[in-house]
Structure 1
Amino acid sequence: MFHLQEIRRQPDGLSFDQKLDLLKSLQERNPEILDLQHLRAVGKVTYEKGLYFLDYQLSYEITLASSRSLEPVVLEENRLITEVFGDSEEASALSNEEALYLLPIEGEGISLEDSVADNILLEIPLKVLTPEEETEASMPQGQSWQVLSEEDYLQQQAEAKKENSPFASLQDLFTED
C-alpha cells in the first residue's frame, strides 16, 4: 500500500517493481482462474494538483479453462494501466466526464494489490480456446446435439423458416418442364 502522505512528499513520485502473489484472492473472486504465474507490476505513483496517478505495466500468465473442452489454456497478458484517484473535493472541481474516471480513495492509501486484482479480473476474456480449437473449423457434437456458430445457427433458422412456410409446397406448381 502506498500511503498518501508518503506520495505527496516525493515530488517525482514513488517508483515500484513488485512481484505479487494474488492467486488465492483472485480465485475467491473468480473460481474460473486455474493458475496465475509471473505476476509483476512496474510503475510509479505520483501526486499532482490534488490527484494521485497510478501508472504501471502489468504482466502475468493466467490459466483458464477452455470454453469448449475445459482444457487448461495459458494466456500471457501485458497491459499498461493508468488510474486516477481523488476524493469528493477533487471530483467536484473536475468536469462530469473527467469525474467518471476518478477512483475514490479508500482509507489512508492506495492499494497496488487491489488495483492489480481488479484489472486482472476485468481483462478475463469471455471466450477462451486452445490453439487447436482456434484453428479447428468443426465444433463439438454428440449423438443428438452439436454446437453451432452464430452464423450457422442463423442460416439454419432461415432455411427452416422457408421449409415451414405454407407457400413452400406451391413453389413447384408452376415450374415449366
Structure 2
Amino acid sequence: MKWSILEVSKKKIIKFEEALDLTEELKQRSEEILDAKPVNVQGQIAYDDGIYYLDYTLEVDLTLPSSRSLKPVEYLMSIAVNEAFTTDEFLKKNEDLLDSDMIFTLEADWISLSESVADNILLEIPLQILAEDEKAGATSLPSGKNWSVLSEADYQKQKEEEADKENKSPFAGLADFFSEEKN
C-alpha cells in the first residue's frame, strides 16, 4: 500500500486498516524468518506543516528458528510505530531539522506502508528465541565429546564447587603464606 504525498497533503489525514502479505519479502530479506502470516496493520497517515506522520500498530505471527535447537517456533510480534517523513526541499528550507535523526527524507513522491512495516518487523526480531520446552528446561542442552553447554545456574554451581575444593585442599593454607611474607 502506497500513498502519494500530494494525496496526503490534500486530505491531511488518512486512516487505514490493512492485512498485508509480506511473507516472501520478509523471507528474502532475512534468513531467520521461516514463515510469516499476514500482517494486520491499523493506523493513520497525516500531513502537518511540511511533515508527513505515519503512525500505526502491527501484529504478525512469525515462525523463527529456536536459538538453541533450530526447530520452528511461533512468535507473535506486536509493534507500535511512529515515523515522520519530509521532502528534500522542505529540509533545505528548514535547516534546523537537518540534524534530526527522527525524520526520514522521502526518496520518491510517495510513502510505502509495506516497506515501513517490513523494515520495522526486521528491526524487532529478537536475538534469542526458545521453544516452550526449552524455556521450561525440559530439553537437555547440547553436548558432545569433552564439551557441554551449561545453564547459568549450573555454571555458578560448578564454580562454587571448584572454589570449595580449593579451600579444602591441605595446601590451601600455604596460599596466604607467600603473600604475607612480601609485606
Which bracket does the TM-score occupy, shorter chain normalised? 0.7 to 0.9
- Larger helix proportion, structure 1 or 2? 2
What secondary structure, in the 3-state scheme, does the structure 2 residue paired with 1:33 have? coil
SS in 1 for 2:145: coil
Q: CA deviation at 1:162?
A: 10
Per the alignment, residue 4 of structure 1 pairs with 5
Match of 2:144 among 142, 145, 151: 142
* Counterpart residue number, 2:181: none
Distance 1:169 1:108, change over 3 A: farther
Q: Does 1:111 align with 2:112?
A: yes
Q: Deviations over 1:66-91 (max 9, x none)?
A: 01111110011111111111134336
Any idea what the Cα deviations from partners look like across 1:5-56, whole Å, max 9, x if unmatched? Answer: 0000103x11111111111111111011011013111111000011000011
- 1:1-177 aligned within 5 A: 1-11=2-12, 13-88=13-88, 89-90=90-91, 92-94=95-97, 96=99, 99-136=100-137, 139-149=141-151, 170-173=171-174
Matched positions, count: 168
- Cα contact 2:23–2:38 (8 A) shared by 1: no
- 1:133-153 Cα shifts (integer Å, max 9, x gaps): 111175332332211345655
Alignment partners' CA distance in 1, 2:83 and 2:150:
40
Letter in 2 for 1:93: D
In percent, how many aligned pairs have the same letter? 38
Instruction: Pick closer, same or farther for the CA change 1:169–1:102 going to 2, 3 Å.
Output: farther
Any gaps of 5 or more consecutive residues in structure 1?
Answer: none
Q: For residue 23 of structure 1, what is the amino acid of its counterpart?
A: T
Give the Cα–Cα distance (whole angstroms) in 2 for the partners of residues 19 and 173 of structure 1: 72
Q: CA deviation at 1:173?
A: 4.9
CA distance in 2, matches of 1:62, 1:148: 28
Deviations for 1:78-131, whole angstroms, at most 9, x for unmatched residues? 1111111113433623374xx111112121110101100000000101000001
Q: Partner of 1:14: helix, strand, or coil? A: strand
**Structure 2 residues without counterparts, runs of 5 or longer:** 176-183
Larger radius of gyration: 2
Do the aligned partners of 2:20 and 2:39 also contact (CA within 8 Å) in 1?
Answer: yes
2:3 and 2:148 mapped to 1: Cα distance?
A: 52
* CA RMSD of superposed structures (Å): 2.8
What is the CA distance between 1:170 and its match in structure 2?
3.6
